[in-house]
Structure 1
Amino acid sequence: MAEPGAIAAPVAGATMSADERHWLLRRLHSLSGIVPIGGFLLFHIFENAFVLRGSEVWWKETEFTRGLPFQIAVEAAVLWIPILYHAIYGLIITATAQPNDYPYARNYQYTMQRITGILAFLFIGFHVFSTRIFYYATGTETSYERMHSFMIDPVYLTIYVVGTLACVYHLTNGIYTFSITWGLAVGPRAQRMVNRACIALGLILAIASVAIMVAFRAPA
């Protein structure tokens, strides 16, 4: 069963119509949200979870990402370009979607997906600017002390909580829609099971994310 409003796959060898291009671009949009963006979010939560064991452990265990060769090129290829594409095409989907495409309870999840997508994009831009771009501009690493200063500031903390939870919801609900779009969850029963699993995953990631932010509030 395809996601409501989905169109048939393009026929090989034929000139692509506007609908067929939309089909392909939407599949790429769906895929980019899981790989590499979603994969990196899961890894980012995992590596930052080391802060629960203290600032020194966190700094040591995150050394791998700080020491990657060709960092700017890797980050651009793996993150910045996919995120820009995913965000831009997501806005196109939001602007062109019809209300009846996602009826009943699914419509609420779709609406939240679009809202959290915008919030996540804004937060990622803020996060990248205040950490990676700040580092490239000044040479200042995102140390524990710097993250601590963010987390004890009510404004920064609010931005991080809202932005991170938006990212978590957008990913986990996106996994659910991905399973439908790509034909991995066929039929109402399978889709209900996947939806429940994604809700559970979302709760786990949300709790872990909040715990990480609380841990960063502790003095070094």
Structure 2
Amino acid sequence: MSARDEMLARIRLARGDAADSGHALPVPRGYRSTGEHAPGSGAVLAELVDRLEDYRATVVRAAGDDASIGAAVASALAERGIHEVMRAPGVPESWVGTLDGARTDDGVATARDLDAVPAVVTGSVVAVSETGTIALDGSPLCGRRALTLVPDTHVCVVRVPDVVQTVPEGLARLDPTRPTTLVSGPSATSDIELSRVEGVHGPRTLIVVVAG
């Protein structure tokens, strides 16, 4: 069979034009489903931090208790002169307890209302170190999607045990029936001349508190 005939046969097979051309190639199923490093290990944490910082996110380390997380959140926001925040309804009060202008999202605020909120604080479900991606699922801890996309600054808490190395490991921890938002650094885009613009379709500033 010539190269041309083989190519056309593959196209027909892919299109479903030939039930069995006799030239179907076996599909490899040995997908990589786990990484070389355990979730929450030093290696995956270092990789996650490296990816996030490469994406121009700010990474803050904190101990795993709520008081330490709250101190890290307050310090990161104070450095930016931000004292008013809105938290996802499932976020512990101690994460924002030292801030004077902390409110809880009750789901009533419109996109225009949220645009006037300087910063939001949420948790997360899982983070993938290889891609530097944080997953939110719309649960009370993560908040509704508008809450994390409209305000200019997003403070997201990632707990160490929730950091995995690979995408398959991350997907295995997600509920496929929930709305999933994947965050890889601050919102950014660029034109054909590679002029980078941040904050176009999401927060301009992403602060990740890695807790634990």
More relative contact order in 1 or in 2 (CA 8 Å, sep 6+)?
1
Shorter-chain TM band: under 0.3
User: Which protein has the larger Cα radius of gyration, Structure 1 or Structure 2?
Assistant: 2
Length-normalised TM-score, structure 2? 0.25
Length-normalised TM-score, structure 1? 0.24
Structure with more of its chain in helix, by fraction: 1
